[in-house]
Chains A and B, each alone.
Chain A
Amino acid sequence: MAHAVELRDFRLEIHHFRVRLAVVAGFVLAVFGLLAARFFYLQVVHHEHYRTLAEQNRISIVPIVPNRGIIVDRNGVVLAHNHSAYTLEIRPSKVEDLEALIDELATIVDIAPKDRKRFHKLLEESKNFESLPIRTRLSEEEIARFAANRYRFPGVEINARLFRQYPQGELFSHVVGHIGRINQRELDQLEADGLVANYRGTDYIGKTGLEQSYERFLHGTTGVEEVEVDSGGRAVRTLSRTPPVSGNNLVLTLDAKLQEMVYRAFGDKRGALVAIEPGTGGVLAFVSKPGFDPNLFVEGIDPQNWNELNTSPDRPMVNRALAGTYPPGSTFKPYMALAALTYGKRTPQQTINDPGYFMFGGHQFRDSRPGGNGVVDMYKSIVKSSDTYYYMLANDLGIDAIARFMAQFGFGARTGIDVTGEAVGVLPSQEWKLRRFKQKWYAGETISIGIGQGYNAYTPLQLAAAIATVANDGVMYRPHIVNYIEDIRTRERTAVEPSPLRTLDLKPEHLAVVKQALVGVNKEGTGARAFAGAGYVSAGKTGTAQVIGLKQGEKYVESRVQERLRDHALFIAYAPADQPSIALAVVVENAGFGARAAAPIARKALDYYLLGKVPEPVKTGKDDDDASGG
């Protein structure tokens, strides 16, 4: 047997070998079959999926941001437009050491500490992959210097961008508002509204004022460019292009000159003025003083300016005309008189005796004129601004009748003007107090309501809308600031139609009485001095609103009261008296009597608007002898 093992059987060996080869061949076939199956799986079964992925690799959808519509006043004066400027931008995702990079950049272009701060603020707020500006508005020289050194700065680029600019600066800071970088909250809102696609590539959105409320008209439609890119993201060629559609322009009812005039007329005082065209509701001037430079916000405000604006005791960011609420003071009286006539509580001729105070429930309600105005009828009550007359009247009308009547004029309700952020104000009533304080109304509280004090608190816009309604004989229009929306391509203008809110239930003869008295104010009453020598007949009413309550028997002495606690000066007016084309309300904060501080501003506004008169530089003389009633 051992011998047999020694002898090799070649044929058997070859046979064994070939069996093994056959196994190997089978293995090869199986493996190639596996590959073929894999190819089939990728190229047939999932072909669509991979085709899409390849297309996504290849095609980059680049949004083309539309030009934002511009904003002009009624005469075409530009209030907001776009200008092209070069920015130096950093793509943080492509930079390892940002600080070192910025330090090095600073050797080539000017980078101020506030630029750095702003950049860091933007960096915190931004999503990744974005290009963020470190410097805006580069000079030609800086561009040239950077271009020569750009190889040293991967991830840094110069871009030509359109910037929003507000050439009027602080004049229209509140009403036109400003744009700013889109934040997370706004992004969420856009998402909820299904507008995210249209905002691809858009960094800015209207933040305040008309820029915010007319955002969807101003923004336009984003265009799209399909670009073939390589793996490095470099564009190889353009595949298709859908051009963007520019945003619509806004033509306002505002008069920029009037606005500027009024703004200057305030001097260094704080306050607000709203002027309205009574027959349409178009707003002619919408001033809140002090303002601020809206251009600061466009590229993201630097922390220093932000702090200054935020901590300033003047609170320049508050839109006083829209969101500031003030007691109307004596400017409330004409409406009280109308209520008396309408509800039959007084006749025009009916007189009262004004001893200088009104006693109610053991309390003495003092008249602002010591010793009173003697015998007072309705005309005199308005012209001389008798408090005692209206203490009594308020008591006779009762709080709910007052509230019911005043509500018609829009007191204590939003006017529905086309900017957001309107304050409601307070039109006091029994029901309001119960709701607000869970307390019942005391009859004594009604007395000072009659002279526009107490809980009364209205926005200058509401005051202006109300006096415009009187000027327009009881037909009230919704105030609006935008006159036309203009399509930039077709030049087609869509007018914002004047919309009458309501026609008040007022008797013409009652209105006539009150309007005659308002004319009397500027002719022979508390407004006479301010309107002396006016080349037109105007109607007006002064008002002084207490900032602090006075104790019984205490006398208000202006010089003794801290400036911020002094009374607010108010004035409402319209002109020409027979055919009013402008109605306005002015509030000057902590300026004392309305006749002294507020009426002259109104006079300048009316002079300019009606006569085209540009006032001489503001006099600083004292003319405060028309003190009574305020």
Chain B
Amino acid sequence: MEPTGLPANSWNGIRRLAARLTRHIDGVLLGIVLALMVVGLAVLFSASNANLARVSGQLVNLLVGLAVMWTFANVPPHYLMRYAVPLYVLGMLLLVCVAAFGEVVNGARRWLYVGLTRIQPSELMKIAVPLMMAWYFERYEATLKLRNYTAAVVLLAVPVGFIARQPDLGTALLIAASGFYVLFLAGLSWRVIAGLAVAGAGSLPLLWSTLHDYQRQRILTLIDPMQDPLGAGYHTIQSTIAVGSGGVIGKGWLKGTQAHLDFIPERTTDFIFAVYSEEFGLLGNLVLLVLFMLVIARGLVITANAPTLFTRLLAGAVTLTFFTYAFVNMGMVSGLLPVVGVPLPLMSYGGTSLVTICLGFGILMSIQTHKKLVQT
């Protein structure tokens, strides 16, 4: 940018404006996120068979996401605290509405029609639940007792239960995980954790009996995908082939045969990692793992330095939810985990989850950049 032609004071004005606009942006986090977004666009270009409409659609999604990120970065954490309870209550109401008169799509009742658009309240709960729990712990910070933890578990279990019954096991597990992270970071005693682990393991058969047939099928398929290679096992088999056939250096961008001959289902959305992995191989996968780890590391640093219990818990939950997304998606594509509808953050095509993720990053940035304000 040439400064000449502009008066000195207006140049300074622009500089000041830019400084104000970027004041609450965490440069490190933004840099890594942008890098992941660029990689994501490149892979999407390949996965969609060079479909520019799809790529530009995703570009719009990304810009919306960045806008949301910027917005929330500028919202001070104590504002968020104020909205924790209303947001949670609203989310619960919507979940109840979904259960009562939601739209059934593909055998699951997840969507709610509001006017012209439809919304998926479970998406909102991904933020609302950790927010609510963080708020709760902050409120009873001084006198945390076991019953507070119990109450927090209830706050978590109710929405998770609703979502699991939609049924949307993937989202339910993600929210449960984020809630657990809050509990853990809030200092839930190791003994209780051990007890929960034992109880959880013990209740597995009971849990199995409450699962839907298709959910059981997915888990059985993971154990032996070949028992139904054209049905339930098809996704796992084809994505595993894509990953494995990528080898060390991959087949090259735009050259994945599994991707371009249509063998990978849902390859622009939940299974985009299979395309990436096929075309960029083990080296590409390691680069991606490093990028994700950098995001998580930055998030954990922000968490460690967060000034209040609320911000610590919120930042930790946001960071670890991101981690969970990444792990579950890559684990699913590479055949380690059952097929659940979890997108690869920042790479999968689609607006909803991207906005949620970016919102999380905005919160992280807000927590990082509003510290001094809070402390003073």
Contact = CB atoms under 8 A, between A and B. Distances in A.
Contacts of B185: 17, 20-21, 24
A25 interface: yes
A60 to B, nearest CB: 11
Given A31-B327, A47-B245, A54-B258, A8 B142 contact: yes
Interface in A224-246: 228-232, 236
Nearest to A34: B336
A58 B331 CA distance: 25
A36 interface: yes
Interface stretch (A37-45, A101-109, A402-410, A468-476): A37-45
B296 to A, nearest CB: 6
A200 interface: no
A39 B285 contact: yes
A343 interface: no
A40 B261 contact: no
B228 interface: no
Contacts of B246: 43
A407 B47 CA distance: 80
Contact of B241 (A28, A57, A229): A57
A43 B181 contact: no
Contacts of B335: 38, 42
Contacts of B238: 57
B211 interface: no
B281 A43 contact: yes
Interface residues of B, number: 43
Interface stretch (B56-64, B66-74, B159-167, B286-294): B286-294
B334 A53 contact: no
Interface in A100-141: none
Given A35-B289, A44-B282, A50-B244, A21 B262 contact: no
A42 B243 contact: yes
B240 A32 contact: no
Contacts of B297: 25
A36 B289 contact: yes
A564 interface: no
Chain A interface, >50% SS class: helix
B327 A47 contact: no
B289 A47 contact: no
> Which of A6, A8, A38 has the most C-beta atoms of chain B within 10 angstroms of its own C-beta?
A38
Given A31-B327, A32-B292, A32-B293, A54 B285 contact: no
Contact of A28 (B247, B296, B336): B296
Interface in B236-292: 238, 240-248, 257-258, 261-263, 277, 281-282, 285-286, 289, 292
Contacts of B243: 39, 42-43, 50
A50 B250 CA distance: 12
> Which of A28, A34, A47 has the most C-beta atoms of chain B within 10 angstroms of its own C-beta?
A28
B300 interface: yes
A230 B238 CA distance: 13
B262 A54 contact: no
Contact of B304 (A21, A38, A43): A21
Contacts of A40: 282
Nearest to B251: A54
A145 interface: no
Interface string B151-191: 00000000000000000000000000000010011010000
A55 B256 CA distance: 11
Nearest to A50: B244
A440 interface: no
B240 A17 contact: no
B303 A38 contact: no
Contact of A50 (B245, B289, B304): B245
B40 interface: no
Contact of B247 (A29, A35, A51): A51
Nearest to B256: A54
Chain B interface, >50% SS class: helix
B357 interface: no
B187 A51 contact: no
Nearest to A46: B244
A35 B258 contact: no
B312 interface: yes
B282 A43 contact: yes
Contacts of A42: 240, 243-244, 334-335
B365 interface: no
Contact of A20 (B184, B285, B336): B184
Contacts of A6: 142
B121 interface: no
Contacts of A236: 261
Given A54-B245, A231-B262, A21 B282 contact: no
A502 interface: no
B247 A53 contact: no
Nearest to B257: A58
Contacts of B296: 28
A24 B181 CA distance: 9
Interface in A200-235: 228-232
Nearest to A23: B184
B240 A50 contact: yes
A38 B323 CA distance: 17
Given A39-B334, A43-B282, A16 B187 contact: yes
A35 B333 CA distance: 11
B320 A24 contact: yes
Interface in A54-99: 54-55, 57-58
A18 interface: yes
A20 B292 CA distance: 20
B55 interface: no
Interface string B112-138: 000000000000000000000000000
Given A8-B142, A21-B300, A49-B244, A54 B257 contact: yes
A375 B195 CA distance: 126
Contacts of A25: 297, 300
A230 B261 contact: yes
B338 interface: no
Nearest to B184: A20
B91 interface: no
Nearest to A56: B241
Nearest to A58: B257
A21 B313 CA distance: 10
B330 interface: yes
B331 A231 contact: no
A51 B293 contact: no
Contacts of B242: 54
A161 B304 CA distance: 75
Contact of A44 (B142, B247, B262, B293): B247
Nearest to B185: A20
B233 interface: no
A228 B261 contact: yes
B229 to A, nearest CB: 11
A521 to B, nearest CB: 77
B304 A44 contact: no
A29 B245 CA distance: 26
Given A21-B304, A24-B185, A38-B334, A229 B327 contact: no
A44 B247 CA distance: 6
Contacts of B327: 31-32, 35
A25 B319 CA distance: 11
Top 9 nearest A-B pairs by Cβ distance? A50-B244, A54-B245, A42-B244, A231-B262, A230-B261, A43-B282, A50-B245, A58-B257, A47-B247
Given A20-B184, A21-B304, A43-B247, 8 more contacts: A25-B297, A38-B331, A40-B282, A43-B244, A43-B277, A44-B282, A57-B261, A57-B263
Interface of A: 6, 8, 16-18, 20-21, 24-25, 28-29, 31-32, 34-36, 38-40, 42-44, 46-47, 49-51, 53-55, 57-58, 228-232, 236
23 contacts: A17-B185, A20-B184, A21-B304, A21-B316, A24-B181, A24-B300, A24-B320, A35-B285, A35-B327, A36-B289, A38-B331, A42-B244, A43-B246, A43-B277, A43-B282, A46-B244, A47-B244, A50-B245, A51-B244, A51-B247, A54-B258, A230-B261, A236-B261
